[in-house]
Each structure stands twice: as structure tokens, then as C-alpha cells.
Amino acid sequence: MPSSDLRREILRGARDGLPIGLGYFAVAFSLGITAEAAGLSPLQGFLASFLNHASAGEYALFSLIAAHAAYWEIALLIFITNMRYLLMSAALSQKLLPETSFFHRMLTGFCITDEIFGLGIAYRGWLRPAYLYSAFLVGNLFWSSGTASGIIAGNILPAAAVSALSVAIYGMFLAIIIPPARQSRVIAALVAISFVCSFAFSVLPVVRGLSSGMKTIVLTVVISAAAALLFPVKNTQEKGDETA
């Protein structure tokens, strides 16, 4: 890739990752307060967030540490809550440039979060690893720094303020899914179906006992498979999109 194209992709990724990072910081700050109660130092909290990119998984991590759970219990729960990223990585790999090396395909898998995945799927044309790396690094630095800052602040802030900060991530996620849903009735319908199914899984006796990660895995596989069968997308792109 020419240096000018590489620089453009890096700058574009940093630009798109900045609003995500700001939302991450607010949520991670409240998680940092939980981490402080579990006895983690700011450095430990920073590293925990840098390596674990799921808010639900990180909350479970800090809660288990506070409960003095065994290492294998922590590892198993983190694995379950993060299993959905296996599916996201497999899906996003189809968007990468065909000549992308195996090493970069593996490394981009580490960069997947719900929001980074949304950016990658919405990206027009073939996706270059430099864009994902840049967006992820900016967002993850805010995420990790937010956790460390929350640990430093401890329990100084009132509970109402912490609760208000945690709402930011939902607004950010809506900002990612609404534009493509407005452009496609199929996507809009699938989003609505996902909401309904997610609620159903939280109240139905047979499945409500499943972990949140396992529910996400089941819903993702079933809904995406049904959508792929009923509404297949052609595996072709305009030449102009490939060079976009």
C-alpha cells in the first residue's frame, strides 16, 4: 500500500475511533470504580481493559476478583462472555482485502469490539487492517485510561453521576446501527427482531438461565443464518468501492 493511502487509512480510523473512545471512557470510568472495590491498582485496571474489550466481561472479571474466585472460573466466564467476537471476527474477515496476510487477519481479530465491528461492516469497499488498527488503538486507549481513572477516583463520585455516565455507550451504539438501518429495510427489520428475541431470551424459562454471552452467541447464529438464507447478499462489489 502506498504511504499516502496508509496515512489516509490511519487518519480515517483515528477520526472514526475518537467518538467511540469518548463513549468508552465514560463506561470504563464506572467499571474502574468496581475494579477499585476489587482491590486493583490503576496499572492493573489499565492492562485488564487493554486486554479485555467487553464491558460485560470486564464487569464479570472484577466481580469475580472481588469474590476471590478461582483462576479457571474467571477464565471460563471471560471466554463465554467474549465468544461472540469469534463470530464477529469471522464475518469481518470477509471484508478484508483478499491479499491481507494471515498474520494481519489474526491480529485484526484482537481489535474487534462491538463498535469497531460496526465500523468495519459499515465501511464501503474492501477493508484495510490499518483502518481497524487505528480505530481500535484510539478507542482502546480511552477504554483503558477510563478504567484507570475510575480506580483513581474510587468512590468519590456519587452513584447518580456514575449511573448517568454509563448511558453514553448506548447512545453511541445507536449512532452506529441507525444509519444502515435507515438505508435498508432488511437491516431495520433484523435489528427489531434482534431486540424482540433478546427480550424473549431474558424471560422465557428455558433460555433465561443462560449466560449473556451464550444468549448472544445463539441469537447471532440463528438470526444471521436466517438472514443469509432469506436475504443473501451478492459477493461482488463495484470497482469504485474496492478502491474507496
Task: Please name the residues in contact with 160: beta carbons below 8 A apart, sequence gap of 6 or more.
Answer: none
Residue-wise DSSP of 29-75: HHHHHHHHHTT--HHHHHHHHHH---HHHHHHHHHHHHTT--HHHHH
C-alpha grid cell, residue 207: 433460555
Match 468501492 to its residue by C-alpha cell. Answer: 241
Query: Which pLDDT band holds residue 167 (cuts at 50, 70, 90)?
Result: low
The enclosing H or E element of 182 equals: helix 168-183
| SS3 category, 163 | helix
Helix axis angle for 71-81 and 55-66, nearest 10°, is: 160
As given in the structure block, the three cell numbers for residue 122 are: 459499515
Residue 101 has which C-alpha cell? 496476510
Comparing 237 with 218, which gets the higher pLDDT? 218
Separation of alpha carbons 130 and 153, rounded Å: 34
The pLDDT assigned to 187 comes to 84
Residue 240 predicted with pLDDT over 50: no
Measuring CA to CA, which residue among 63, 58, 38, 51 is closest to residue 166?
A: 58
pLDDT at 164: 66
Strand partners, 127: 96
Task: Write out the three cell numbers for 206.
Answer: 428455558
Local structure of 207: helix, strand or coil:
coil
Mean of all residue pLDDT scores within the chain: 80
120 Cβ contact list (under 8 Å, min separation 6): 92, 95, 127, 131, 132
Look at residues 120, 135, 144 and name the one whose alpha carbon lies nearest to residue 16.
135
Q: Residue 127: helix, strand or coil by DSSP? A: strand
Structure-model confidence comparison of residues 84 and 192, the more confident one: 192
Using one digit for the tens of pLDDT, what is the confidence trace for 78-126? Answer: 877 787 788 888 888 888 888 888 888 888 888 888 888 888 888 888 8
| Digit-coded pLDDT (tens) for 24-83 | 888 888 888 888 878 889 999 999 999 888 877 787 788 778 878 778 777 877 877 787
User: Residue 165 and residue 138: Cα distance in Å, rounded?
Assistant: 20
